[in-house]
Structure 1
Amino acid sequence: MSKIRVAVIGCGSISKHRHIPEYAANNQVELVAFVDSVLERAEHYANTHGGKAYRDYETMLAEVKPDAVSVCLPNALHAPASIAAANAGAHVLVEKPMAASVEECEAMIEAAKRNNVYLMVGHNQRLMPPHVKAKEILQSGALGKVMTFRTSFGHPGPEGWSVDGRESWFFRKEEAIMGAMGDLGVHKSDLIRYLLEDEVADVAAFIGTLHKEGTDVDDNATCVLRMKSGAIGTLVASWTYYKGEDNSTVLWCENGVMKIGTHPDDQVIVELRNGTVERYKVGAIATNEKQLSSGVIDAFVDSIVTRTPPSIPGEEGLKSLRVILAAFESQETGRTVSL
């Protein structure tokens, strides 16, 4: 079978650490084009992996006609690039947050359907081994019903991660649309929906810029969520965890508690009310410092090869984004927002 011809649109850190190396490692893929407004970045990858370098994706799509693309651009550009790629007949893997608004997400989903291509959103937390294991345990019924939870995602901020450091688009509102909530919060709204197999019913949130100078995007958020099942919990996103990254979730259930990502070696710990403690070493969660395969690229490629709709389609990306948009509405109005 011929290889899938993939173009990467946007050659910043997420491409450098995840998309490009994971495509390069997948023997069903041929990297055919790289796009970046800073042409040297695209050229660097073209020289390394083959393919052509472009400054804009419209020219690339017309000339190269790739089978699939990864959209790794600033958040404000996710929708136009994804729609253009779908219209050019390419399957689309878009980074999170999927887009800047519900309308944009719906237009992306519609473009993919109209052009008979797949649209997948890079919500990699679902594919991290500890989260897969946690879901398996929840589905076994051993813990019973989840009553309350807390899920948090924080690191010192994009200046240490982005290829542009403090000058990164992450800090410019017109390009980023949102800060820590788009970077980290949406991962956690997606994760809690996935783990609990439940939708968020109500959101109340405090969101602000507490410490990052010279930016008007949020660097911290604490949200209270009520799920449709009645379970209540908190979702925290932060760019000011200067002592180090935290990506942990704790679920308090009828029969005990499950701790995910709270211990350096035992990624999932189940403490039952009867005194039993189960510890699972299932492989770590990828962090900015420690890049592990995200699984997203392989899942995307696999869905194209097997012609199976992706496990994280646009509809899922939209549901997870709606939670974050509701949190911003709550911050603005001072009210609880129902979804």
Structure 2
Amino acid sequence: MTFTDFPFLPRRSFLARTGAVAASGLLASSALFAQKPATPGGAYEPTRGQFGKDVIWIPSPDTLVTRMLRLAATTPQDYVIDLGSGDGKIVIAAAREFKAQGKGIEYNPDLVELSNRRAKAAGVDQRAQFEKADIFESDFSRATVITMYLLPHLNLKLRHRILALKPGTRVVSHEFRMGRWIPDETSRVGSASVHLWLVPANVGGEWELTFPEQAGPANVRMTLNQTFQNFTGDVVFKDFSTAVRNQRVAGEKVHFSFTDEDGHLRRFEGQVAGDRITGSVFQDGKQAAFSARRVGAAPAIGGSGPAPENEAESLSAE
């Protein structure tokens, strides 16, 4: 895995120093241009701290790698893609410990060869494969789990492509976040952070919402405005409108509540499938089915376009 931290530098000094190096074009994503370290057997082995195309390489602790994969709830049904896979540790661990399939995308051909050699030695070369490629030019749409350890400005360059992945795709980043897209969960492993995002379904736009009331089915108009996994909205009844609350999108799942025209708090838990939402509505301990249909085209999720160039700088100054 590609590692971008200098443990002997304060965080502010590290970001300032790596930002300056990146600006001069010396850092890039997990490809390492240092000379091959000599080993007694002649086989290539990376050297801790050597420079690459976008970042430097330092091996990640096994406990942290395991936490990343557990935070992503990795299963044998998953396809894990590690962006900047370095020595292949994450993809090999996903195959060995979680029986998942996966691929590492790595720019340095020596690291790709090393990773394939280690996968074969671990007996998982049929499930863990590696390719020499640039992560910014690669197709990783097959992934159900994305792992990465890149600098903040590199995460931002990838963010709009990650948000375009299938809703429910799990994304785990070692240490660095993705600008204003707040993680769904963050873990601490020693002094390191591990962040999880769930690619959200698009729930923005105009919806016709149908749910049962005592007097019969209620059919109301609901307007939702979404930014990343958060949204605001209003529900329009005959004589009034009211705001949704307790709202959240988690992958393909959506949650929201509002008070209906009889004064009852309605709690909705649904599954998003394109322009349809189906699920259950709860009120006073009772459960019933509801459905919603989007009217018109779905607007783009707020924040899903290419990140502004100054987003990383503005966040570091806050």
Q: Does the alignment reach a TM-score above 0.5? A: no
Larger RCO, structure (CA 8 Å, separation 6 or more): 1
Give the helix-richer structure, 1 or 2. 1
TM-score for both structures, normalised by structure 2: 0.32
Give the strand-richer structure, 1 or 2. 2
Q: Which has the larger radius of gyration?
A: 2
